Amino acid sequence: MTNALARLFEIAPPPSDSRRKDWGEIEHTLGVELPADYKELIHAYGGSNWDDYLYVLEPGCPNENYELIEWAENQAENLEGLWEFERKPTELEVEGSRVIPWATTDNGECLYWLVRPGLDPDQWTVMVNEARGDRWENFSVSCTQFLASSLDGELQSNILSSLFPRTPHEFRRLRTV
């Protein structure tokens, strides 16, 4: 277990039932291996909502609105269209770089992994894109580090809502709609 996941356990103890996934099939569908900390996060919490604002996407999520594979496919297509009108973030100008969504917010911001050629998935960093604009932020942390550090106030985004995080914290697993 990573230190960031241990911090999340302190912030909001995970549900007693864990979620098992066939990561080989999921990664085959996505065409990339996913970070180990994300797999541990999903195993412990599943697709989840944090402080009634941030939604962690899950492959095979019971709430189809937060299904990781569908989000990844849709965002890849949407961003390709966007780059025709807006400048790509500098981080994506490296040949073969791309982003894969791992979370979203109730305002429509999207949190991505920055995937670079030859970089191990456990070294991917987090990029945040504003909902209706071209601002991007890059954080040199993993997704669980980003989540834990955001919740405990150690990390702050200029794009995410100033009302996030809440005190006390709220966690809920995403269920069927």
Per-residue pLDDT reduced to its tens digit, 136-174: 999 999 999 999 999 999 999 999 999 999 989 999 999
Domains of the chain: 3-173 (3.40.1580)
Q: How does pLDDT run across 22-68, given as a tens digit for each residue? A: 999 999 999 999 999 999 999 999 999 999 999 999 999 999 999 99
The closest of 75, 81, 73 to 30, measured between CA atoms, is: 73
pLDDT tier, 177 (very low <50, low <70, confident <90, very high otherwise): low
Q: Is the pLDDT of residue 71 over 90?
A: yes
Question: Residue range 89-111: average pLDDT?
Answer: 94
Average pLDDT over residues 104-120: 95
Axis crossing angle, helix 36-45 with helix 143-151, rounded to the nearest 10: 60
**Separation CA 14–CA 48 (nearest Å):** 10
Which pairs from 125-134 meet CB under 8 Å and 24+ separation?
126/102, 127/89, 127/91, 127/99, 128/157, 128/159, 128/160, 129/159, 130/159, 131/105, 131/107, 132/108, 134/86, 134/87
Mean of the per-residue pLDDT values for the chain?
92
The angle at the Cα of 175, spanning 174 to 176, to the nearest 5 degrees, equals 135
Strand-strand pairing, 98-105 and 136-139: unpaired
CB 19 within 8 A of CB 42: yes
Beta strands at 125-129 and 136-139: parallel, antiparallel or unpaired? antiparallel
